[in-house]
Amino acid sequence: MNFTITRQNLHSGLAAVSASIPSKTTLPVLSNILFEAREDGVWMSGTDLDVAVRVKVPADVKEQGSLTAPGKKLQEITRELPDQPVEVTTRGDQIELKCGRSHFKLNGLPAEEFPTLASVDFSDAWDVEGKDLHALIHHTSFAVSTEESRPILNGVLWELRDGEMRMVATNGHRLARMGIPAGTSGAPSADFIVPPAALQQVQRLFKDEDRLSVAKSGNHLGFRAERTEVFTRLIEGTYPNYDQVIPRDSDKLAIVDKKALESAVRRMAVVASDQTHRIRMMFEPGRVHLNVLTPDLGEGHDELEIGYDGEELEIGFNANYLLEVLRYMPTDEVKIAFKAPERAATMEPVPADGETIDYLCLVMPLRLLD
């Protein structure tokens, strides 16, 4: 293998791939990056066996071939190299870098030892716009569960339908759901449960203007644009019926200024219990009172003027859940809907006239009374 590449291209290729390399591994080849020099450029790949990233960088390839080499060291070296073309060659299992007067030889491992990336067939793929995918991931993936005891909730549910796609994530206490109109590609409907680590790579590596092909083969999902591919193992199982738990009969509606509510909740959270983070919200016409009382610590009170003309109602929440959900609300005002102190409350954006945003977050309350 022999190719010449600009320092910039080598650096951006390594940066793209090395984020997928596990920091600790029992399999040494996983801390390496696979280089494959082809006629039209150099492909670099990295994987932690769950998620794999593959990028193509332009290079002048003199001799095709492949080898794996330590990703972290290569990245550190490239960062320090002068801005000159880098000549990369292999000698046996060693990779050699020459750039100006700098010269490095690093021990690699044969390409055959690198795990085969999932082979995903893109001939029957869905077409997705980068910006749509980004919006969905950004607004939902924060809500996934990090508890290992319920693996199904460790993923984001992605529903692809003709003309629409949706993502849903929940940890069983709060939930985020977003839908976006999508073009009709004629591809069949599908549901995937995608690990958030893969979605992070998608967010990082694809641009808003990219048009992505998304395809599934076996238990793997592939994302592909011109020079970038991300593959991931899907989470197997049946996602809980989230639609069933979204309340449709909430009869109390409040319109609240997002920033004002956020800062009031943040203030209350300071005095809330470390265990439950409980705050109480008491809604009355035109106003919401926020209260917190933590034995052995103290208490706090705040109030906000809001648009509300329903009955009085007191409801308890984990302040952290409220803050998270508020952070992702894309409008200045939010609509909070609820029915009773032990029923789920929903939060939705209040878009400008003529605009629609299909985004809903749901937070389960904390029980105040038995």
Partner 1 sequence: MNESPRTRRILLVDCDAFYVQVARLEDPEGAGRAPLLVVGGSSGRGVVTSASYEARAFGVRSAMPSAHARRLCPDCTFVPVPIGACAERSRAVRAALQELAPVVQAASIDEFYLDLTGTERLFAGETFTESAWRIREEVLARTQIQVSIGGGTRRVIAKLATRRAKPAGVFVVPEGGELDFLKTLELGDLPGVGPTLVEALAKKGLVRVEDGLRVQEPWLQNWFGHRRGAWLYRKMRGMDNSEVDPHEGRKSISSERTFFEDLDREEDLERRLLELSGSVGATLRRKGFRARTITVKLRDHDFHTRQHSRTVPEPVESDQAIRSVAGELLAELRAQRRVPVRLLGVGLSGLLERGAPHQLGLFETEAVAGETERDRTVSHIVDELRDRFGTDAIQSGRLLDGPTPGRRPRPGKE
Residues near partner 1 (CB under 8 A): 145, 147-150, 152-153, 170-173, 175, 240, 242, 245, 275-276, 278, 295, 316, 318, 342, 344, 362, 364-370
| Bridge partner residues of 36 (DSSP) | 43, 66
Amino acid code (one letter) for 246: I
Q: How far is the CB of 273 from partner 1 (least distance, A)?
A: 9
What is the rounded CA–CA span in Å between residue 48 and residue 63? 29
Nearer to partner 1, 255 or 297 (CB): 297
Nearest-10 Cα torsion for 74, 76, 78, 81: -140
Give, in order, the Cα–Cα distances in Å from 68 to each of 62, 71, 279, 287: 18, 9, 54, 63
- Write b or e for each residue in 47-57: b if 16 or more Cβ atoms lie within 10 A of its Cβ, otherwise e: bbeebbbbbbb
Helical H runs in the chain? 7-18, 71-80, 130-140, 196-205, 242-245, 258-271, 319-327
What is the rounded CA–CA span in Å between residue 286 and residue 364? 23
Q: How far is the CB of 252 from partner 1 (least distance, A)?
A: 18
Largest CA distance in the chain: 78
Q: How far is the CB of 173 from partner 1 (least distance, A)?
A: 5
Q: How far is the CB of 148 from partner 1 (least distance, A)?
A: 8
DSSP 227: S
Q: How far is the CB of 278 from partner 1 (least distance, A)?
A: 6
Nearer to partner 1, 300 or 316 (CB): 316
CA angle 302, 305, 309 (to 5 degrees): 120
Q: How far is the CB of 298 from partner 1 (least distance, A)?
A: 13
DSSP 113: G
Nearer to partner 1, 81 or 340 (CB): 340
Nearer to partner 1, 6 or 294 (CB): 294
Q: How far is the CB of 101 from partner 1 (least distance, A)?
A: 50
| Bridge partner residues of 336 (DSSP) | 254, 347
DSSP 366: B
Nearer to partner 1, 245 or 255 (CB): 245
Q: How far is the CB of 43 from partner 1 (least distance, A)?
A: 37
Nearer to partner 1, 170 or 201 (CB): 170
Nearer to partner 1, 65 or 341 (CB): 341
Nearer to partner 1, 148 or 353 (CB): 148
